[in-house]
Structure 1
Amino acid sequence: MPSLAPHIASVPASGIRRVFELAAGLDDVAMLVIGEPDVPVPHHVGDAARRAWSEDRTGYTPNGGIAPLREALVAKLARENDLHVHVEQVWVTVGATQALYQAMGLVLASGDEVLVPDPGYTTFSMNAHMLDAVPVPYALSPDHGFLPDLEAMEAAVTDRTRAVVVNSPSNPLGVVWPREVLQGLLDLAARHDLWVISDEVYEYFTYGTPHVSIASLDADDRVFSAFSLSKTYAMTGVRVGYLVTPRGLAPTMRSVQEAMISCVAEPDQHAALAAVTGDHGPVSEAREHYRRNLGLATDLLAEREIVHLDPQGAFYLWIDVSHASQGDVAGWAERFLLEQRVAVAPGSAFGRSGEGWIRICLAAAPEVIERGLRALPAPGA
């Protein structure tokens, strides 16, 4: 049997999926491990997809997506993100997962370095390894409010650094980056002529802190922005996202989209169009559901004196279990699942800085969250 490309062996496995797959084989598990909305897809979105199928709208579309959807996204970006772009800068993708991979593939060559947040979403490092590039973590630590230390980031830049990944609101932390921090990172990128790849999947879920799209501050076309409909509209399995590129890349994007996916399925695009242009009441209701769950969870953790980060966005809680995990939170999370029937994501799955922490998903029934959190060992217990 021929061998695979040597760099493929360096792609790390997902510590989140490890726990999820173990949990899938057990009964009566409190599932707090996977970041998936627990609310139904809005009716008008499902209706649009069914209508497209019944009308046999199942052919190829332009590589970038159907024109009404791209135009609706241009209007949405101007209205909600203060981001004013041409339709040829907006490319409909198979979720934000493809958008992020596409952006990295455009700017990273073999051996190039990309700065990635630590803790940060696992795909950032996995993508870099898939491209035979080198992910270089920058720490998001309690000492800096889980925001980047820009001086330390700059010290990590080498002559091989090509890009930096930004994720706000953050998965797994729920931190929302302030405008001044985003501007400081853009200034750093300009000094070293770096690309910026921004993951804004959780843009609609913030709690008292406004979301700022870093591309709205970009004066010299160095930002790629990845967005998703998955979390916002409870469409995780539909797989629709979009990538917003700097100007002038339309011919290149047509080629890379054709090579990678050709186009997103047309019924899915019609569902996305209905989601973007339709009633956003369900989105507001989902946000309030997550906010209530957040209040329930943080009150319970405070009562039990368990250290945690009070998030400003997304729908996760970052919880310190170092008093129990003894330096191996991945192993502890597996034992916790088997003994307590509670599935949580080990913080080490998100990078070295996550050791001793866990991430739980707040997109769940309140009773499931309460059961899971009451099972956590309290300090001194």
Structure 2
Amino acid sequence: MPQLAPHISVVPGSGIRRIHEIALELGGAALDGVTMLAVGEPDVAVAAHIADAARRAWAADATNYTANGGIPALRRAIVAKLAERNGIRVETEQVWVTVGATQALHQAMTLVLAAGDEVLVPDPGYTTFTMNARMIDAVPVPYRLAPELDFQPDLDELERVVSERTRAIIVNSPSNPLGSVFDEPTLRALLDFARRHDLWVISDEVYEAFTYGAPHLSIAALDSDDRVFSVFSLSKTYAMTGARVGYLVTPPGLAATMRTVQEAAISCVAEPEQHAAVAAIEGPQRSVTDAAAHYAANLAATRALLDARGIRYLNPGGAFYLWIDVSHASGGDVAAWAERFLIEHRVAVAPGSAFGRTGEGWIRVCLASREEDLRRGLALLPAP
């Protein structure tokens, strides 16, 4: 039979998905008896005004093709939001509505990477950074976010791994899986690095709405020479992961190219979901502030529990994850340990090695869960 393209065989699987599949085997589709702390799924309901907008769109038969970039009302709402909340001033033709942030990331990488090109990806970093690169026959090159530096970028390390084949760097703040947040000096240093080596910057800002302390800062707000692609999503902010609405903000001058690549990839995002997105961005933000308070309370409770048990963790500056050190128990193979922990205790956590080599010995726990589930799951972690 015909063979698949050779580069497809080196696309890595998801270590998070592996844990989820075992959990489904144990508890069925409803995950009965399994405490699920592995998947980044908000545990709050979508706000009523967002759901109502989607229902009205379906009732009005707003189910047609839209412009490749999205319905005008949504693109205008995003432009206004970017200026007000992110300090990014763009034209409408720089905003492209996508099937979640996942497609936005893939689209940006497709635009700037050819076969064999290298892209610098954070390690630990979100799994699809590496998967996307391999899908388009590019080469992901990890740059280490080291525990000894509180998982912040090391500019010396970046200078060691960049090469003449490097075309882009992915920056993720707030970070999934770490929850680390990059301050303005760090973001400026990363931009300076990109300028020195003439690199594109792809900025993943999916968790922009959830920070603890310092506010989120968009790297594109500091960009002076149009090298940043910014990726955003409504999934986590508005608890609408299944609606699949994100957006890619491009440098100026790419409108014709974007129309072509959007048509080839998706044509457009489903129209009812776009109307829901308008309601989310322009409507009351109470659900977002309530969710942020809920995640912050869960963080405080879990930190107190881990502190009392002497278990080390990274104190996150944002997102809704807790990065926990279980190296004293995992025996150098945290993926295998996480599977045993799930089977023995019915608690699912994401192994840190799913996010890169530097994640070995760590786990990621989702704070967007019920406090009682977090208490139960973390109470079963082995103490040093």
The answer to whether TM tops 0.5 is yes
Partner residue of 1:34? 39
Partner residue of 1:5? 5
Partner residue of 1:62? 67
Among 126, 146, 154, the alignment partner of 1:141 is 146
1:209 to partner: Cα distance: 1.4
Q: Does 1:345 align with 2:347?
A: no
Q: Does 1:23 align with 2:23?
A: yes
1:208 to partner: Cα distance: 0.5
1:211 to partner: Cα distance: 0.7
Among 289, 301, 310, the alignment partner of 2:306 is 301
How far apart, CA to CA, are the structure 2 residues paired with 1:340 and 1:58? Answer: 45
CA shift digits 1:117-144 (9 cap, x unpaired): 0000000000000010000000111111
For residues 46-85 of structure 1, the aligned pairs below 5 Å read: 46-85=51-90
Contact 2:176–2:319, Cα closer than 8 Å, also in 1? yes
Among 119, 130, 136, the alignment partner of 1:131 is 136
Instruction: State the secondary structure of the residue aligned to 2:224.
Output: coil
For residues 190-205 of structure 1, the aligned pairs below 5 Å read: 190-205=195-210
Partner residue of 2:216? 211
Deviates more, 1:242-251 or 1:146-155: 146-155
Contact 2:47–2:238, Cα closer than 8 Å, also in 1? yes
How far apart, CA to CA, are the structure 2 residues paired with 1:302 and 1:161? Answer: 42
How far apart, CA to CA, are the structure 2 residues paired with 1:339 and 1:255? Answer: 51
Partner residue of 2:320? 315
Partner residue of 2:14? 14
Instruction: State the secondary structure of the residue aligned to 1:237.
Output: helix
Which residue identity does 1:144 align to in structure 2?
L
Instruction: State the secondary structure of the residue aligned to 1:132.
Output: coil
1:25 to partner: Cα distance: 1.9
Runs (4+) of structure 1 moved beyond 2 Å?
Answer: none
Gaps of 5+ in 2: 28-32
TM-score, normalising length from structure 2? 0.98
Which residue identity does 1:275 align to in structure 2?
A
Contact 2:235–2:243, Cα closer than 8 Å, also in 1? yes
For residues 182-261 of structure 1, the aligned pairs below 5 Å read: 182-261=187-266
How far apart, CA to CA, are the structure 1 residues paired with 2:369 and 2:156? Answer: 38
The alignment-based identity, stated in percent, is: 69
1:64 to partner: Cα distance: 0.2
1:293 to partner: Cα distance: 0.2
Query: RMSD between aligned alpha carbons?
Result: 0.5
1:210 to partner: Cα distance: 1.4
Gaps of 5+ in 1: none
1:294 to partner: Cα distance: 0.2
Contact 2:97–2:245, Cα closer than 8 Å, also in 1? yes
Q: Does 1:103 align with 2:108?
A: yes
How far apart, CA to CA, are the structure 1 residues paired with 2:198 and 2:135? Answer: 23
Which residue identity does 1:284 align to in structure 2?
T
How far apart, CA to CA, are the structure 2 residues paired with 1:198 and 1:85? Answer: 16
Aligned length: 379
1:152 to partner: Cα distance: 1.1
1:154 to partner: Cα distance: 1.6
Partner residue of 2:30? none
Which residue identity does 2:23 align to in structure 1?
A
1:155 to partner: Cα distance: 1.8
Q: Does 1:159 align with 2:139?
A: no
Among 172, 181, 185, the alignment partner of 2:177 is 172
CA shift digits 1:231-255 (9 cap, x unpaired): 0000000000000000000000000
Q: Does 1:335 align with 2:340?
A: yes
How far apart, CA to CA, are the structure 1 residues paired with 2:241 and 2:215? Answer: 24
1:165 to partner: Cα distance: 0.1
CA shift digits 1:24-52 (9 cap, x unpaired): 12230110000010000000000000000
How far apart, CA to CA, are the structure 1 residues paired with 2:260 and 2:195? Answer: 28
Which residue identity does 2:7 align to in structure 1?
H
1:270 to partner: Cα distance: 0.2
1:145 to partner: Cα distance: 1.6
Which residue identity does 1:228 align to in structure 2?
S
TM-score, normalising length from structure 1? 0.99
Which residue identity does 1:207 align to in structure 2?
Y
1:101 to partner: Cα distance: 0.2
Deviates more, 1:268-277 or 1:147-156: 147-156
Instruction: State the secondary structure of the residue aligned to 2:241.
Output: coil
How far apart, CA to CA, are the structure 2 residues paired with 1:312 and 1:143? Answer: 16
